[in-house]
Structure 1
Amino acid sequence: MTETPNHEDSAQPNRRVAIGAGVAALGGAAVGSGLGFAAARARQTNASALPNAGELDNNLGAASHLFHLDAEEPLRFDGGTLQGAHEGNFPVLAGQQGSVYLVRLEPGGIREPHWHPTAWELNYVISGTTRWSILGTHPDGTYRRDVFEASKGDLVFAPQGYFHYFENHTTDTTLEVLVIFNTSAQEPNDDIGIVGTLNSIPRDVLAVCFGVPETAFGQVPTDIKPVVITKRPR
């Protein structure tokens, strides 16, 4: 059952949560500039390989239109797996600005809070129940935090640049989500996680922004990975 969004949080978000997430998004630009540039560079490279509509048509006529997504070797994480189809492994997508990923989260699995600088995503829940949080800014300058649950058959849209995460908060059911992006690049080239974001900002600056001692960030890990699926300890 889908929960009603927390409109109280939406209207008056906790100041530290809003500031922290805002800092994460702004600070992520620093660590993400390299990733964003890499994504743009990758797209430029692929575009140069298919520079005109005729070559795009030729590619569509020559490349296979079938991809066995479930047969693709998954990336394995502590909290689940990730399988994707993109122009790197599904050539018919070259120049089409589209990719798709199948995310499986074990019970307690969490997709690291993150954002995508150059792509939106549309998520279809195949099975299970997932808890979402999406944070974005709006024309009046305020933050809007949308918190809700999505179940089998539901669609969730995360706009480009919005900070978000989802998790499988159940204890006994695997969650499956199909994620569609409007980019042909591989997800790691357009993904900035919260750990990388925090590591892009000096600890003393984080302390000032959060209003806590600098030592509060002493245990933030420095091992930065492009895509993270973790899980809650049992």
Structure 2
Amino acid sequence: MIWTQCITTTLLLSSIKAALAAPAAPSAATNPLRGDENLIGYSSTNTISNENTETISYQLAPGQTEAAIVGLYLDFDDVEDPQPLRGDKGGTNPGPRNTEMNKMYSDKYAPPGTDSGATVNAQWPLALSGMILGKEKSGWSRQQNQDVLPAATEMAGVNMRLEAAGYRELHWHVAAEWAIVLNGSCRIQAVNDNGQTFIDDVGKGDVWFFPPGIPHSIQALENGVEFMLVFDDGSFSETNTFLATEIFAHNPRDVLSKDLSVPVSAFQNIPQDQLFIFPGTPAPTNISIQNITGPAGSIPQPQSYSYHFSSQPAQQLEGGSVKIVDPLSFPIASGFSAALVTINPGGMREIHWHPSSDEWTFFIQGRGRATLFTPPSKATTFDYLAGDVAYFPKSNSHYIENTGVEELIVLEVLKADHYSDVSLAQWIGLTSKQIVQDTLNLSNETLSQMTTEKKIVVS
């Protein structure tokens, strides 16, 4: 017991000596980086800045004095110092602020009075996606997936540009790939699991599809190409594809030699790193030169991986036009349905929802806005510019209004075996007038103007 007490006393004395020897922490008074302790809380000696924040000079956009519930689109482009005001709601913003972003996305800055709560985020500008730059100025790639748009669980997108003769190298994916050419043209090739081959040239407005695991390549023709890829997996990443360069680099050369029946020396110059996007030899004008077939022959036309959507005429509508490609016309793309919608200035893709799929939408041209409604009472209005992605969950209602001065062109993609939607206007028009009147308190005059047809795009 005495021995234990001695040890305890010795340790205590050592601790006291160490504490006395340790340098004291510098006080605020001796540290020029910190203020005086007397600044804490109230003191008669404290002073405050009494800057006047009520004298901000600003102008209002057309429609900004209208009642917030009317929800007119606010065009801030020519407004020098836009403010978050609608009717009698909101207040001024002295700053700091990102004025350019406020101008581009005015419905976020001064939302309509009908917005309520917070829906999922239904917007991602691809301008905020990091670019992957190809080798020797051969092109680039950028993507949207759940990392940047968490609600987009069912689909992801990749926007890619290939300069003339540029390649997206030989590769395959776990996910299915659906694509539309935005501009230019390219040659696509593939081999299926039966050894059947495929090759085609596609141009602006055309579509292709490659099932999961089918190896393929893409090469830009003489004028380059840009396209949008859509994958049936929201977590898809373009950096996780299976590349020909990687499979050659990560298998023993002796194994490659046995597999391909060539000597080991044949592989001494293979790339040690992935190519991804790289320049190549221009494709021959005569496509038949590259049309290699084996014993299984070519893929039969009904199962072809391309669809020349650009040659399909659009259906002209009251406020624009629409054309649809889905498995009923493009059978190989069994899980993808899409509508290419053109909306005239002042027009609107009518309020609708999709009962069988989420909607992944890409804004190809123009500017627009949409309100996403989620039950029971959440609603958020989003503004979209060319290059933006929208995502609307299954059965959640939305519209797309053209808020610009040029045609608005949008691509709506569904994971569905056919394209379908439910129109709010048609639903109301085909429901007993008495039921609608009892529910919404609409007049007989209003009810008599309701349509029984699906208009898709209204003027």
TM-score range, shorter chain: 0.5 to 0.7
After the TM superposition, which residues 103-118 of structure 1 pair with which residues of structure 2 at under 5 Å, given as runs? 103-118=341-356
CA RMSD of aligned residues (A): 2.5
Offset, 1:100: 1.9
After the TM superposition, which residues 172-187 of structure 1 pair with which residues of structure 2 at under 5 Å, given as runs? 172-185=405-418, 187=419
Give identity over the alignment, percent: 24
Give the match's secondary structure for 2:356: coil
Give the corresponding residue for 1:230: 458
Q: Separation in 1 of the partners of 2:347 and 2:442?
A: 29
Q: Which amino acid aligns with 2:427?
A: T
TM-score, normalised relative to structure 1: 0.67
1:142-198: CA deviations, max 9, x gaps?
A: 31111121101111111111111111122x31111111111121x2xx211122210
Offset, 1:124: 0.5
Q: Separation in 2 of the partners of 1:175 and 1:131?
A: 10
Q: Which amino acid aligns with 2:412?
A: V
Give the corresponding residue for 2:373: 135
Give the corresponding residue for 1:71: 311
Q: Which amino acid aligns with 1:195?
A: A
After the TM superposition, which residues 22-101 of structure 1 pair with which residues of structure 2 at under 5 Å, given as runs? 61-62=299-300, 63-93=303-333, 96-101=334-339
Size of the alignment, in residue pairs?
176
Q: Is the 8 A contact 1:130 1:167 kept in 2?
A: yes
Flag structure 1 segments of 5+ consecutive residues without an equivalent.
13-55
Q: Which amino acid aligns with 1:101?
A: A
Give the match's secondary structure for 1:167: strand
1:86–1:197 CA distance, 2 compared to 1 (3 A): same
Q: Separation in 2 of the partners of 1:105 and 1:216?
A: 25
Give the corresponding residue for 2:432: 202
Q: Give the counterpart of 2:378 among 134, 144, 148.
A: 144
Q: Is the 8 A contact 2:340 2:409 kept in 1?
A: yes
Flag structure 2 segments of 5+ consecutive residues without an equivalent.
1-103, 119-191, 197-210, 212-298
Q: Give the counterpart of 1:157 among 388, 391, 407.
A: 391
Q: Separation in 1 of the partners of 2:444 and 2:408?
A: 37
1:199–1:206 CA distance, 2 compared to 1 (3 A): same
Offset, 1:83: 2.1
Offset, 1:214: 4.1
Q: Separation in 1 of the partners of 2:329 and 2:371?
A: 31
Q: Separation in 1 of the partners of 2:428 and 2:340?
A: 27
Q: Separation in 2 of the partners of 1:71 and 1:216?
A: 41
Q: Separation in 2 of the partners of 1:194 and 1:92?
A: 32
Q: Which amino acid aligns with 2:415?
A: N
Q: Separation in 1 of the partners of 2:112 and 2:348?
A: 24
1:44-72: CA deviations, max 9, x gaps?
A: xxxxxxxxxxxx97797542111222221
**Larger CA Rg, structure 1 vs 2:** 2
- Larger relative contact order (Cα-Cα within 8 Å, sequence gap ≥ 6): 1
Q: Is the 8 A contact 1:206 1:214 kept in 2?
A: no
Offset, 1:90: 1.3
Offset, 1:7: 8.4
* Higher percent of residues as helix: 1
More deviation, 112-121/62-71: 62-71
Offset, 1:217: 1.4
